[in-house]
Amino acid sequence: MSSVFYDRFERHSNAEGLKAHATHYCPGCGHGLAHKYLAEAIEELGIQDRVVAVSPVGCSVFLYYYFDVGNTQAAHGRAPAVALGHKMANPDSVVVSYQGDGDLASIGLAEIVSAAQMGIPLTVIFVNNAIYGMTGGQMAPTSLMGQKTATSPHGRAVMAGQPMKMAELISGLDGPVYVERVALFDAKNRNRAKKAIKKALQIQAEGRGLAFVEVLAECPTHLKMNPEEAEAWVREKMLPVFPLGVKKDSVPEPWFKPQAPSFDPEKVMQLVGGSSDHTERHCTTFPTHLDLHDVSLKLAGSGGDGAQTAAMLIAHAGINEGFDATHIPSYGPESRGGTSYADVHVAKEEVHNPAAPKPHIVIAFNSPSLVKFGPTVRPGGTILYDSSVVKNPGKFLEGVKVYGVPMTEIAVDLGKAMVKNIVALGALQAATGLFPKETFLAAIRKALKEKCAMIPLNEQAFAWGVKAVETLSS
Amino acid sequence: MTELRERPKPFLLPEFCKGCGRCISACAKHCIEYGKEINPQTGLVPVVVDLDQCNACGLCITACPEPYGLRESPVAHDFELEDPEKLYGTRHSTAPEPVDIPPEIIPLPPSEPLVIKGNYASAIGAILAGCRHFYGYPITPSTEGAELMAKLLPLLDGVFVQAVSEVATVNHLYGTGGAGLPCMTFTSSPGFSLMLEGISYMIGAEVPGVFVNVMRGGPGLGNIAPEQSDIKLGVRGLGHGNTHAIVLVPSTPQEMLDLTILAFDLTFKYRNPVVILSDGYLGQMTGKVTLPRTMRKPGIPKWAVYGDRNHRKNLISSIYLSETDLEKHNEYLNGKYASMAVETRAESHLCADLDVLLIACNTPARAAKGAVEELRNRGVKAGLFRPITLWPFPVGQLLPIAKRAKRIVVVEASAGQLEDEVRIALSRTEVRDLAPIEHVRRMGGVLPQQDDIVGKVKRPYAANKAAARRPEVHA
Ligand code: SF4
Ligand code: SF4
Ligand code: SF4
């Protein structure tokens, strides 16, 4: 008797009477044997402390009554997903996903196939008895053709599909390293079953990979047979459909040795982008000439115009100056080609509403954007557009200041069309005085910290943007 | 043949035999036969063993499905056949009583504020809270969170797993949370629907985990624009059974970070999942985010199933077979939910002296805040009440303000899901003379705008009421 079984099954109806030492399984049920071989293997390998057993839903739902190991009970079909969660939490644990055929081969197909393909070391014990036991003898994914069950009273027919051959399916995946199908109907096969279960545990315990053992088991109750007849049924009826043997054995050298996660504060800070580098401030006051509390901008163009980057730079610049700022992009399918627009706010204390339905400033990189957002600018506001691409800006509200700046043209002359958004920022600065020039330039330099070579070009683009507006205004 | 004699012969206590007969065919020596007498203790008919011919091959033992059925006899000396306790001595589990390994607080160097998206802020909050395990399935508009985790966690020797589905995701969390470690996912509405089964299991089995649902437009595939129509799921619909979880509703990128850190505290404090309901707009919104001055290194709680000696005794399960046990468990859980009342959080803006009270959360609360400012500028005494926990609902904070209000307007991007919570919470206070509740609602990914709110408030209540007589889906 394996010492991995509890000495009293206290979780089994509080261990009252015989339940302290007897399983809940029907007489002759194959689960009892699979449990026994699993317990013995755990004991022989000396891994009892490391084992986490994941109980499924099905007749073996109460596996945790019996095994003196860490136990988790999972939802129907989800045991491999739960097992993976345990394994990732503690790579040193030896996690067993124990499942029946309804659990593994029907409702939990996605979980087992994906876990198997991932190949993270786990041990899967799949008990296939060709029937739903717990719910009362319904057809299982592994029921045989012609097999009469509660939900195939006339025998499994072609409309119900063919039995699922899980060992073959799993061995066809790249992830698992060891797949075997075993049976319990005679001494020789019981011996093989025991060995296979032990091997499957050892492979995981040594960090070699995922092992899958399918156990053809007897469910005398729903086969409506005595155990001896059930053994014969498995041998005569199941074996031709589910041939026994090793389906895959390509066990590699131990490889699964993850490091313990790092909690080094310096490293964490660096990775999340924290930095004590202080950016110098250049604003003496909030741009109250635009608004007393909160200036809003709309930047719009097509995908590659750099509207979002420019918007982001404005938000960064505002925050560097100690103001609050927000930026919201249009996103999703809209951001894949077509119009891309951004709402930006810079507030003295706090941005209340981050949307910009009535912006103080509109920057339009193309004609549709100008048509769409130009009219939303509030009275006294400012519109900047790329006059290289917009030829007929149309009419806007009285009092709205409109600047056509050849952003693309300037950028192309500088050798990189991409920098037209920086030209726009220069123009924005000159047209509105949102922030001093140095504020924008500091934000640009900070953004290009990793690409220093780009800084001079961007500075030039900004300067040309400023100059363009100054020329227009003079 | 000397070893043969050393091998023990089988031994059977009749009361542990189910009489299945699997041992009978295993024995070539025909030592075992079906019995004829019913065992009075079990009502079953145990087999009869006669070891005269036995060669101690052990095959019958290997064939017996019962742990305490046929087994090797102890060294042959006298023993009391009937009493297993005396026979083997009491062999209690050798696993020790589990002890808590407490988390550590680690100081962080000072930093300039970050300028980041809400989804990133939440991911960074999780890292600072000690989360090194992320599981998720890509879904817009939540993916930036997962993407940042995918980038950062491997550099911290943490775990990022792109799960096969949201169903698998929540079960990965069940495993890692059950092992006692902080873990999380980012998802959006359709994905959250799929996780509900697992969330119910987590609540039942008391497994911690943090769910960030960046809500989008529904029902069905809907769209990827912001909505708040999962409030009912978070607050009243966390899968089957009597479930509840603390629901946090951030409205700025800063809160995405702060409330994510808080969520990890609360999920372990209560051994219960915590849900952060964000919205598509906030997830994508970039803003100023100030980092805290400490971070967490998690410990391992004593209840965890970690897979080591210290935790071997433990079980994570939501099964309570007997009705009375399950009722007790539900009473215990409900007591736990009730104890979460101390976690209610809310913010009020210009509510000290007001006529019109706006109630909103997430991004609509920001439009409402803008509307409050605008209305105040126009001489209307408006104020905003912004719940930060939707469950438990901060009714203690709301009630004194609601009592002073002449009008109450709930602003939301859903068909009244927030309003339902407000009404339920207020109705339970038994205070009956409150102002009638009006609303500004948008759906389908359209957020209530400042103009909508100001327009609503500027119209007198009677006019709104007349307008509302038009047929409306919401009762
Ligand atoms: S119903 Fe079948 S599988 Fe379930 S315990 Fe009984 S014999 Fe075993
Ligand atoms: S040990 Fe071998 S010979 Fe003895 S009873 Fe068991 S199966 Fe028969
Ligand atoms: S196999 Fe075990 S339970 Fe079944 S009859 Fe034999 S001793 Fe009894």
ipTM: 0.93
Per-residue confidence (pLDDT) for residue B464, from 0 to 100: 61
Residue A180 belongs to what H/E stretch?
strand A178-183
**Domain CATH code at residue B258:** 3.40.50.970
Residue A23 near residue B65 (C-beta atoms within 8 A): yes
Q: Whose CA is nearest to atom 8 of ligand 1?
A: A29
| Closest alpha carbon to A424 in A446, A454, A444 | A444
Residue to mutate among A64, A86, A93, A221, with most B CBs inside 10 A, is A86
Q: Per-residue pLDDT for B42 more than 50?
A: yes
Residue B94 domain-assigned (yes or no): no
Nearest to B56 by CA among B5, B124, B114: B5
Q: Are residues B268 and B358 in the same domain?
A: no
CATH of the domain at B46: 3.30.70.20
B71 neighbourhood in chain A, CB within 8 Å: 1
Measured between alpha carbons, how far is B98 from B301 in angstroms, rounded to an integer? Answer: 9
Q: Which of A417, A66, A258 is nearest to B66 (CA)?
A: A66
Cβ of B29 less than 6 Å from ligand 2: yes
**Closest atom of ligand 2 relative to the B55 alpha carbon:** 3
Closest partner CB to B297 (pick from A87, A263, A351)? A263
- Interchain pair A88, B157: CB under 8 A: no
Q: Is residue B88 part of a domain?
A: no
What's the average model confidence in pLDDT over B428-451? 93
Question: Does A89 contact chain B (CB < 8 Å)?
Answer: yes
Residues A217, B470: Cα–Cα separation, whole Å: 65
CATH classification for the domain delimited by A270-473, as one of 3.20.170.30, 3.40.50.1000, 3.40.920.10, 3.40.50.261: 3.40.920.10
Quick one: pLDDT band at residue B324, thresholds 50, 70, 90? very high
**pLDDT the model gives residue A13:** 77
The minimum CA-CA distance between B432 and chain A, rounded to whole Å, is 33
Q: Is the CB of A88 less than 8 angstroms away from the CB of B174?
A: no
| Cβ atoms of residues B301 and B264 within 8 Å | no
Give whole-number Cα distances, A16 to A11, A21, A71, in Å: 10, 9, 21
How do residues A282-322 score in pLDDT, each as one tens digit? 888 999 999 999 999 999 998 788 999 999 999 999 999 99
Does residue B394 belong to any structural domain of this protein? yes
Mutate to test the pocket of ligand 2, among B50, B60, B70 (most ligand atoms within 8 A of CB): B60
pLDDT (0 to 100) of residue B83: 53
Query: From the CB of residue B147, how many other CB atoms can be counted at a distance below 10 Å?
Result: 17
- Is the CB of residue A149 below 6 angstroms from any atom belonging to ligand 1? no
Mean pLDDT along residues B123-146: 96
Q: How far is the CA of B312 from the centre of ligand 1 (A)?
A: 28
Q: Which residue of A has its CA nearest to B149?
A: A272
Centre of ligand 3 to C-alpha B296, Å, is: 54
Residue B232 has pLDDT above 60, yes or no: yes
CATH code: domain of residue B395: 3.40.50.920
Asked if residue B321 and residue B176 are part of one domain, the reply reads: yes
Q: By mean pLDDT, which of A397-401, B170-174, B187-191 is the weakest?
A: A397-401
Q: Evaluate if residue B471 carries a pLDDT over 90.
A: no
Residues 191 through 220 of chain A touching chain B, CB cutoff 8 Å? 191, 194, 220
Alpha-carbon distance of A226 to A233, in angstroms, equals 10
Same domain, B121 and B59: no
In eight-state DSSP terms, residue A195 is: H
Strand arrangement of the beta sheet that strand A211-216 belongs to: A245-249, A178-183, A211-216, A123-128, A94-100, A51-55, A70-73, B315-316
Same domain, B392 and B351: yes
User: Cα–Cα distances in Å, from A160 out to A24, A98, A101?
Assistant: 31, 26, 16
Q: Does residue B122 contact residue B278 with C-beta atoms inside 8 Å?
A: yes
Find chain A residues with C-beta within 8 A of B197's C-beta.
Answer: 75
Count how many residues are written for chain A.
474
Q: How far away is chain A from the Cα of B338, in angstroms, using its nearest Cα?
A: 26
Binding site membership of B12 for ligand 3 (Cβ less than 6 Å): yes
The alpha carbon of residue B427 is apart from the nearest alpha carbon of chain A, in Å, by 30
User: What pLDDT does residue A474 have?
Assistant: 72
Residue-level pLDDT at B345: 98
Closest ligand 2 atom to residue B23 Cα is 7
Measured by CA distance, the residue closest to atom 2 of ligand 1 is A219
Residues B259 and B379 in one domain: no
What token pair was written down for B162?
Answer: 């792109």
Please answer whether residues A291 and A348 qualify as being in contact, where contact means their C-beta atoms are separated by less than 8 angstroms: no
Q: What is the pLDDT of residue B213?
A: 97
pLDDT band at A334 (very low <50, low <70, confident <90, very high): very low
Which range marks the domain in which residue B62 is found? Answer: 11-82
Amino acid at B285: M
Domain end among B295, B318, B343 = B343
CB contact under 8 A, B167 and A5: no
Q: Which of B18, B22, B159, B374 to mutate to test the interface with A (most CBs of A within 10 A)?
A: B22
Note whether B335 and B451 are same-domain residues. no
Which of B343, B376, B391 terminates a domain? The answer is B343
Distance, C-alpha B351 to centroid of its chain: 34
Mean pLDDT over all residues of chain A?
94
Q: How many helical (H) and strand (E) elements, i.e. helices and strands, does chain A have?
A: 16, 13
Q: What is the mean pLDDT of residues A103-110?
A: 97
**CB distance B232 to ligand 2 below 6 Å:** no
Residue in chain A closest to B88 (alpha carbons) equals A7
Residue B82 has pLDDT above 70, yes or no: no
CA distance A301 to A335: 11
Question: Residue B195 is encoded by which pair of tokens?
Answer: 């996780």
SS (H, E, C) chain B: CHHHHHCCCEECCHHHCCCCCHHHHHCCCCCEECCCCCCCCCCCCCCEECHHHCCCCCHHHHHCCCCCCCEECCCCCCCCCCCHHHHHCCCCCCCCCCCCECCEEEECCCCCCEEEEHHHHHHHHHHHCCCCEEEECCCCCCHHHHHHHHHHHHHHCCEEEECCCHHHHHHHHHHHHHCCCCEEEEECHHHHHHHHHHHHHHHHHCCCCEEEEEEECCCCCCCCCECCCCHHHHHHCCCCCCCCCEEECCCCHHHHHHHHHHHHHHHHHCCCCEEEEEEHHHHHCEEEECCCCEEEECCECCCCCCCCHHHCCCEECCCCCCHHHHHHHHHHHHHHHHHHHHHCCEEEECCCCCCEEEECCHHHHHHHHHHHHHHHHCCCCEEEEEECEEECCCHHHHHHHHHHCCEEEEEECCCCHHHHHHHHHHHHCCCCCCCCEEEEECCCCCCCCHHHHHHHHHCCHHHHHHHHCCCCCCC
Measured between beta carbons, the chain A residues lying within 8 angstroms of B225 are 332
Same domain, B253 and B387: no
Give alpha helix (H) positions in A392-454: 407-414, 420-432, 437-447
**Statement to judge: residues B173 and B275 lie in one domain:** yes
- Average pLDDT on B29-50 reads 94
A374 touches chain B (CB under 8 A): no
Q: In the predicted model, is pLDDT for residue B472 greater than 50?
A: no
For residue B90, list chain A residues with Cβ-Cβ distance below 8 A: 7
Q: Is residue B354 part of a domain?
A: yes
Query: Measured in angstroms, how far is the CA atom of residue B32 from the centroid of ligand 3?
Result: 9
Task: Provide the 8-state DSSP code for A418.
Answer: G
Task: Give the C-alpha distances (Å, rounded to integers) separating A199 from A50, A81, A83, A347, B30.
Answer: 16, 22, 18, 66, 32
pLDDT of residue A275: 87
Give the integer Cα–Cα distance in Å for B409 and B439: 5
- Partnered with residue A339 across adjacent β-strands are A302
pLDDT band at B2 (very low <50, low <70, confident <90, very high): very low
Same domain, B446 and B417: yes
Residue A162 near residue A242, CB atoms below 8 Å:
no
Which ligand places an atom closest to the C-alpha of B49?
2
| Record: fold of A13-249 | Rossmann fold (3.40.50)
Radius of gyration (C-alpha) of chain B in whole angstroms: 31
Alpha carbon of residue B164 to chain centroid? 20
Searching chain B, which residue's CA lies closest to the CA of residue A117? B164
Provide CB contacts within 8 A for A411, sequence distance 6+.
A417, A418, A419, A420, A422, A423, A461
State the pLDDT confidence band at A18, using cuts at 50, 70 and 90.
confident
Residue from the list A25, A30, A276 with its beta carbon closest to the beta carbon of B110: A276
**pLDDT tops 80 at residue A172:** yes
CB-defined contacts A:B, below 8 A: 346
Subunit contact B127:A271, Cβ cutoff 8 A: yes
Count Cβ atoms within 10 A of the Cβ of residue B87 and give its class: 0-12 exposed, 13-18 middle, 19 or more buried.
middle
How many beta carbons lie within 10 A of that of residue B380, not counting itself? 17
Site from A14, A87, A88 to mutate, B interface, most B CB atoms within 10 angstroms: A88
Domain boundary among B291, B310, B343: B343
Which residues 325-364 in chain A show a CB within 8 A of chain B?
325-329, 331-333, 351-355, 357
Closest to B362 in 3D by CA, of B442, B447, B273: B447
In chain A, CATH 3.40.50.970 covers: 13-249
Which H or E element spans position A328?
A: strand A324-329
Q: What pLDDT shows up at residue B466?
A: 59
Question: Taking the CA of residue B69 as centre, how many other CA atoms within 13 Å lie in the half-sphere pointing to its CB?
Answer: 29
User: Could A325 and B115 be called an inter-chain contact, meaning their C-beta atoms sit closer than 8 Å?
Assistant: yes
DSSP A67: B
What pLDDT, in 10s, does the model give residues A404-455? 999 999 999 999 999 999 999 999 999 999 999 999 999 999 999 889 999 9
Range from A345-359, B114-128, B421-435, B459-473 carrying the lowest mean pLDDT: B459-473
Asked whether residue A214 carries a pLDDT value surpassing 60, the answer given is yes
Select from B418, B356, B417, B414 the least CA-distant residue to B387.
B418
Give φ, ψ of A49 to 5 degrees: -65, -25
- Residue B3: which pLDDT band, with cuts at 50, 70 and 90? very low
- The mean pLDDT value of chain B amounts to 92
Are the C-beta atoms of residues A287 and A436 closer than 8 Å to each other?
A: no
R_g of chain A, CA atoms, integer Å: 35
Position B331 in a domain = yes
Ligand 3 pocket: which of B66, B71, B72 to mutate (most atoms within 8 A of CB): B66
* B366: nearest CB among A3, A275, A353: A353
Residue range B363-391, pLDDT digits in tens: 999 999 999 999 999 999 999 999 999 99
Q: Residue A439: phi, psi to the nearest 5? A: -65, -45
Q: What is the mean pLDDT of residues A234-243?
A: 98
Q: Where do the CATH 3.40.920.10 domains begin and end in chain A? A: 270-473
Across the interface, of B165, B295, B308, the residue whose CB is closest to A265 is B295
Shared domain for B368 and B339, answered yes or no, is no
Secondary structure of residue A464 in the 3-state scheme = helix
* pTM for the structure as a whole: 0.94
pLDDT class for B468, splitting at 50, 70, 90?
A: low
> Same domain for B355 and B441?
yes
DSSP 8-state secondary structure symbol assigned to residue A276: -
Rounded to an integer, what distance in angstroms lies between the CA atom of residue B19 and that of residue B425?
60
Cα distances from B54 to residues B35, B69, B71, in angstroms, run 18, 17, 14
CB atoms within 10 A of CB B207: 31
Cβ neighbours of A72 in B, within 8 Å: 174-175, 178, 305, 315-317
As a whole number of Å, the end-to-end CA separation of chain A is 98
- For residue A220, the ligand 1 atom closest to its alpha carbon is 7
Q: Is residue B292 part of a domain?
A: yes
Q: Is the bond preceding B392 in cis, omega lying within 30 degrees of 0?
A: yes
Residue B320 or residue A17, greater confidence: B320
CA B109 – CA B259 distance, rounded (Å):
21
Q: Which amino acid is at A84?
A: L
Q: Is the pLDDT confidence value at A173 over 70?
A: yes
Give the total number of structural domains in chain B: 3
My answer on whether B391 and B441 are in the same domain is: yes
pLDDT on residue A434: 97
pLDDT at B92: 60
Decide if pLDDT at B1 tops 50. no
**Which ligand lies nearest the alpha carbon of A136?**
1
SS3 of A53, please?
Answer: strand
